[in-house]
Structure 1
């Protein structure tokens, strides 16, 4: 009792051993009640699954820097497919991006894959994510059809 602290939907500031960290909302980005951690001292956003990219273990240690490097990495790492499938729709992407553009971020560090360092890279990431169609944006009635029974079974 007393050890668990609920996080309000808008996030909150926490002090961890004298360092202020911010828990920021990232709802519907791979999970309904998702949050991320921002360290204003290092200017690092620990983004969880947002920005996750499928690369080898060796490539996961890479730091992507620059807008052009981000686009090359994005094309090669499977980022689009994952994010289109697991993010909660373009409205969520735009709301989150609008919030984050007001923060001073030098580095986005997802929990899987390479990270994105530098203002130019962060801006390229945000520009891509803000326009991303994902999740329910991509569904149609064809995705919700009762399976036709196979008469040969």
Structure 2
């Protein structure tokens, strides 16, 4: 994989979308982080945890000033998504945008902002997304929080930028073998690499079909997951949607034999 840690997905001179890759050092799973710039306002999507905070901040300095960050979006509650939240609250004036289902859990990450006089500020800076999602203004643009519940979190959102026509899809479409800087080209090989993850982590085919029905008519030119390579162009995106439509996963595949009390461990004197 290239050592490049950031590249531009879209740039029309006013509006930019930037992907950050390969920032995780050590054993942590690699994840993509995203920056959207419109004029003098910026938004970060799925910034990650302590493993990515410092390298991501260093990369951000190439493009923006931290005081211009208006939103930090979290698609769901996983450690590689939002556990760096306390640092963004301490070092920026950004609002945190996340599902209402996680609003009362996030303070567990954030003792500094939930103690004494800072408690009120923390809740003032939290935007709780309803299950139906919502849109938020960023400069002269709109960012849409798109429902993707149970794919794989019970309160899960994706984020759609109507100017670049990019859907930031979180873990849906994720693969650890694809290069984030190179769009998927061999679709059949890529689908095979995604199958195991999607069949275990996504809830059910019923939910996948709800999602496909929602996005198939949206004006999307690129789907960019949190891990691995993006899907670029309608032909590739439609192949991905067709695959999801027929994919059994999650509770569809879980067997009763798994649900049993384990045998006693051997005891040694």
Question: Normalised by the size of structure 2, how large is the TM-score?
Answer: 0.51
Higher relative contact order (CA 8 A, sep 6+): 1
| Deviation sequence 1:73-114 (CA, Å, 0-9, x none) | 222xx3100000100111110101100112111100001101
Task: Report the equivalent of 1:129.
Answer: 244
Alpha-carbon distance in structure 1 between the residues aligned to 2:251 and 2:258: 11
RMSD: 1.6
Alpha-carbon distance in structure 2 between the residues aligned to 1:151 and 1:14: 57
Task: Report the equivalent of 2:55.
Answer: none
Moved over 4 A (4+): 150-153
Deviation (angstroms), 1:16? 1.1
Matches within 5 A, 1:20-99: 20-55=142-177, 59-65=179-185, 69-75=186-192, 78-99=193-214
**Structure 1: gaps spanning 5 or more residues:** none
| Deviation sequence 1:17-76 (CA, Å, 0-9, x none) | 2211110000011211000000111111000111000116xx3321124xxx2222222x
- Number of residue pairs matched by the alignment: 146
Q: Please say if 1:146 is aligned against 2:261.
A: yes
Question: Normalised by the size of structure 1, how large is the TM-score?
Answer: 0.88
Partner secondary structure for residue 6 of structure 1: strand
Alpha-carbon distance in structure 2 between the residues aligned to 1:73 and 1:150: 40
